[in-house]
Amino acid sequence: MNDMQTPLDESGVLDRFLSENRLFCAPDPAIMEDHRIGPRDAREQALLEGEVDPHRINQVRGLILAALDEGNTMIEQMGAAPGAKWGDMVAAIFTASGDLSMIAPHGVVGFAACCHYPIKFIRKYWEHDPTVGVRDGDGFIHNDARYGGIHNTDQSMILPLFWKGRLICWLSATVHEGENGSCEPGGMPAAAESKYDEGLKMPPFRVVENFQIRRDLQTFLQNSVRDPKLQYEDMKVKLHSVLRLRERVLRILEEHGEEALIVTLRKNLEDVVEEVKRRIRELPDGTTRVVSFADSTLRENALLKLNMAITVQGERMTIDMRGSAPEIINRSINTNLASFKTMLFTGYLQNIWPDLPQCMAVFTPLEFVFDERSLLNGSFETPQAMSLIPLFKAMTIACIPMAKFNYMLPHRYTAMVAPQYDQPATLIYGGLTQHGEQVGNFCADINGMGQGGRSHRDGEHSVSPPFAAHCDLGEIELMEEDIPIVRLGAFTLAKDRVGFGKQRSGLGYEQIATFRGTGLWGFMTGCSGSLFPSALPLFGGYASPAYPLCKIKGVNVFDLMRETPEAFRFDIVELMNTQPFPGASYSTHDMGMTFELAAPGELYMMCQGAGGGYGDVLQRDPAQVMLDVAEDLISDVTARDIYKVVFDADTHVVDEAATAEWRAAERRERLARGRPYDEFVADWVAPEPPASLPFFGSWSDPQQVYGVTMGQRVAMPASGLESMFMLNPKDVRIAQLEAELLAARGSAD
Amino acid sequence: MRVLVTENLRIDLEQELWECRHCETALIGARENYKRGLLVYDRDPREIHKPLLDPRKYERTYSPHPQWCRILEYYCPQCGAMIETEYLPPGHPPVRDIDFDIDALKRQWADREEVIEAPVGSEPPRRRGHSHAH
């Protein structure tokens, strides 16, 4: 029986054989599970042991940031993707070992936490592979988030920079390109039931040689997507933006020398690590917690729990996401560990420590704990094309527990802020344009989400998506020249859809879209939050409302605009409640809709949402409430029922004394209806989730996780989660209808 | 020495008590879950996030679904200030959201001056000099 054992002198041969004959270079857990900067390399060590000139570092740092900003602006100005036009992109620079040191100041900050993963892969697997290698003039393309990234709509162009024959640093440009040949147009298919429905899945590979795109590989990529023009144009845009960035960095090398560049890139990372450790040490020791819920898999309603506990002890901070929902093997809303950490990073850099340099080192002092095979730590085979469902919630979830650590500090790095609206609330489209071209992509007007209320003022209206504070909105007129979508109700703030509080949230805007000029066009949406509010409140405020998707079908609104334009106006609530179009069908739905074809002139309507409210509504200044009424942000009914303000219906003049008395009476009502906590909990807490609720995640014990597989509830140990498998929603519907039919036949008999 | 913890709560370190910042009364011992010192009310979310679409016509109305979501409102038992809110599915255990090491907190604040009014903090950076005006 010893025949199978390998003699010691042959083990080296076997190891070499295995390393030289790797079956498949899959994502490497040693890379993908390590969010930290690596150790200094020999050159960095030697240089940083010597004297460092902080003035020169500052000068070089400024030159690099200016170069990155120029590269980013070039992409924005030249890029063809809607994402490029409104700023969903970044230019970045890395150390020679692949640690991301700086991004363009107006780039999407989340990319600062993930663009390094594919470079680490290139260094480990391709650099010394005789069939690949890394040479001056090379460029690598990448999009698969399993090898690093946010999601697979984002494509990167990555170039090594050589100086005097040595690799000095890496440069990259990344853009949300959208279309990638997935089973639904636009690159984010909710309908994907396996990762093989996701379209292009590019690990990093060389597509540029001698600074030229290889035409054969470019053609392969163009042949794999619906929009070959976009694929070609933006590959060139990214390449030439990085080449410009390369020119600038070469000039820095000529002027300041390689030592200055190497020291600047490395020191920027190490200084950030020390600063973050110092900030953690300032916080109280202990644990703060929050739970957040998404209410949809985008195919069916389900309550998906995100369970967060943040523990601080000295200069250690641990983010524990155990007890969250399990992964779903045939739904596209799973994400992988690295992408989820990337979006947590986004939340920290946008809402908690926005003054820190934007580099991957921010999270180096942090530790993370996840369950294996959770929705947030999905295994390799899970579809992840619509990972935005957990990822958008990741951008805001830490606001609440971190506010409970930060509030006491004598110095704040930014104001306390309740979570921003956290859904990708826009239409994804696909079809033939009015020019006969096939396209699929993501509408740019995702940038209208309301911010949460702050400690000292209300949240900003329609300020940005939660991952890109600096992003813009492209020119609507230019979009309408390219694609057949017509926005009939864009950018009107959604009245009464507010996170109420002492400081209210900002409002999102309404989007009413239709199309014309083509016979083949359709839409999809990919949001949760139609049953359970998405943006949570802070310190006693209220959340955002729940948002439906509204449709008006069986009508061509362009005909009616010609015939009776005075008979209606484009306001979602008014259109749906008054139903002014004869013969049309009016319906509401979850904001998760798989792709469907529409007819010209039909209306698809949704909202960018509001953020969470901050503080007790009864502490809101009555004058601020009435200003909201005057600005048509809230109705008279809301001012009275929610804020308890007494005012004259005609003049809107506040009766201060009556308001104070009404608010005092409301406080007395609270005392009358509230029950002591222990007594309340004894009645309220159920031993397990209600049987009627498809609940995924832990309930009372984070070590026991509930899920559903093949329609049956299962309880699993968190340490041994198994993938859930969902029934086909159409099969479920057929079974329901058959049961109803059977019952009807039974009663007829 | 009192340490501010939220917009509505603080801890008296000497007395080891949670206190309401509005009426300045003690709620419960600082080593306890502060929620145990409060009153709780199970709010139907439709009372706050009212249906804007006609519920007779539509299933989705901008209101949360009351069988999926409830609002737990936490009140100070003395003054009725709303200290905290929590959005949970029916029957879900309330979360112990703040769980500090009080001994470590005392050591940490031994060298700090008391903060009476919470600082605001600086505004986040915003892009300037860009306009869609024509």
Chain B positions touching A469 (Cβ under 8 A) are 124-126
Domain map (residue ranges) of chain B: 2-109
Question: Residue B8's pLDDT is what?
Answer: 96
* Closest C-alpha among A191, A150, A106, A86 to residue A443: A86
The predicted complex's ipTM stands at: 0.94
> Are A468 and A596 found together in one domain?
yes
How large is the average pLDDT for residues B14-35? 98
Question: Residue A1's pLDDT is what?
Answer: 45
pLDDT: is A603 or A476 the higher one?
A603
Q: Is the pLDDT of residue A472 over 90?
A: no
Per residue in A415-425, pLDDT tens?
A: 999 999 999 99
- Do the Cβ atoms of A283 and A353 come closer than 8 Å? no
> Are A566 and A645 found together in one domain?
no
Q: Is the pLDDT of residue B52 over 50?
A: yes
Query: Sign of the CA dihedral A640, A645, A646, A650?
Result: negative
Chain A positions touching B126 (Cβ under 8 A) are 469-470
Question: Residue A651's pLDDT is what?
Answer: 95
Q: Is the pLDDT of residue A550 over 70?
A: yes
Number of domains in chain A: 4
How large is the average pLDDT for residues A34-57? 96
Is the CB of residue B128 less than 8 Å away from at least one CB of chain A? no
Q: Is the pLDDT of residue A135 over 60?
A: yes
Question: Residue A286's pLDDT is what?
Answer: 98
- Do the Cβ atoms of A502 and A620 come closer than 8 Å? yes
Question: Residue A120's pLDDT is what?
Answer: 98
Scanning A645-684 for CB atoms below 8 A from B yields: 666-671, 673-678, 680-681, 684
Is the CB of residue A424 less than 8 Å away from at least one CB of chain B? no
The answer to whether position A235 is within a domain reads: yes
Give this prediction's pTM: 0.95
The answer to whether position A544 is within a domain reads: yes
Is the CB of residue A403 less than 8 Å away from at least one CB of chain B? yes
* Residue A127: CB atoms within 10 Å: 14
Residue A545 has its nearest CB partner, among B4, B49, B92, at B49
Q: Is the pLDDT of residue A184 over 50?
A: yes
* Residue A631: CB atoms within 10 Å: 12
Question: Residue A595's pLDDT is what?
Answer: 94
Question: Residue A5's pLDDT is what?
Answer: 64
Chain A: give the shortest CA distance to residue B128, in Å: 10
Chain B: give the shortest CA distance to residue A311, in Å: 9
Is the CB of residue B107 less than 8 Å away from at least one CB of chain A? no
Residue of A nearest to B64 (CA): A531
Tell me, what amino acid is at A146? R
> Are A45 and A193 found together in one domain?
yes
Residue B90 has its nearest CB partner, among A472, A541, A690, at A690
Question: Residue B133's pLDDT is what?
Answer: 57
The answer to whether position A99 is within a domain reads: yes
The answer to whether position A24 is within a domain reads: no
> Are A496 and A550 found together in one domain?
yes
How large is the average pLDDT for residues A456-471? 90
C-beta atoms of B113 and A410 within 8 A: yes
C-beta atoms of B39 and A670 within 8 A: yes
Domain carrying residue A309: 283-407+699-749
Q: Is the pLDDT of residue A205 over 90?
A: yes
> Are A123 and A59 found together in one domain?
yes
Q: Is the pLDDT of residue A748 over 70?
A: yes
The residues, ordered by sequence, that sit 6+ positions from B41 with a Cβ below 8 Å of its Cβ are A670, A673, A674, A675, B72, B73, B75
How large is the average pLDDT for residues A344-355? 96
> Are A325 and A239 found together in one domain?
no
How large is the average pLDDT for residues A596-601? 97
> Are A269 and A291 found together in one domain?
no
Per residue in A290-301, pLDDT tens?
A: 999 999 999 999
> Are A162 and A181 found together in one domain?
yes
The answer to whether position A470 is within a domain reads: yes
> Are A191 and A67 found together in one domain?
yes
The answer to whether position A18 is within a domain reads: no
On average, the pLDDT of chain A sits at 95
Angle at A301 between CA A296 and CA A307, to 5 degrees: 50
C-beta atoms of B65 and A693 within 8 A: no
Per residue in A67-114, pLDDT tens?
A: 999 999 999 999 999 888 888 999 999 999 999 999 999 899 999 999
* Closest C-alpha among A111, A87, A79 to residue A472: A87
H helices present in A631-676, as ranges:
636-641, 656-673
Q: Is the pLDDT of residue B21 over 50?
A: yes
Query: Sign of the CA dihedral A556, A560, A561, A565?
Result: negative
A273-276: list long-range contacts, CB under 8 Å, 24+ apart.
A273/A37, A273/A361, A273/A364, A273/A365, A275/A356, A276/A353, A276/A356, A276/A361, A276/A362, A276/A364, A276/A365, A276/A366
Question: Residue A14's pLDDT is what?
Answer: 87
By the 10 Å C-beta count (0-12 exposed, 13-18 middle, 19+ buried), A628 is classed as: buried
Per residue in A258-271, pLDDT tens?
A: 999 999 999 999 99
Is the CB of residue B82 less than 8 Å away from at least one CB of chain A? yes
The answer to whether position A218 is within a domain reads: yes
How large is the average pLDDT for residues A461-469? 90
C-alpha to C-alpha distance for A99 and A115, rounded to whole angstroms: 9
How large is the average pLDDT for residues A504-516? 96
How large is the average pLDDT for residues A681-690? 98
Chain A: give the shortest CA distance to residue B63, in Å: 5
pLDDT > 70 fraction of chain A, expressed in percent and rounded? 99
C-beta atoms of A686 and B104 within 8 A: no
Chain B positions touching A641 (Cβ under 8 A) are 50
> Are A465 and A478 found together in one domain?
yes
A-interface mutation test, from B97, B112, B117, most A Cβ less than 10 A away: B97
> Are A644 and A739 found together in one domain?
no
The answer to whether position A567 is within a domain reads: yes
State which of A277, A306, A324 marks the end of a domain. A277
Question: Residue A336's pLDDT is what?
Answer: 97
> Are A448 and A335 found together in one domain?
no
State which of A232, A253, A277 marks the end of a domain. A277
B-interface mutation test, from A407, A692, A700, most B Cβ less than 10 A away: A407
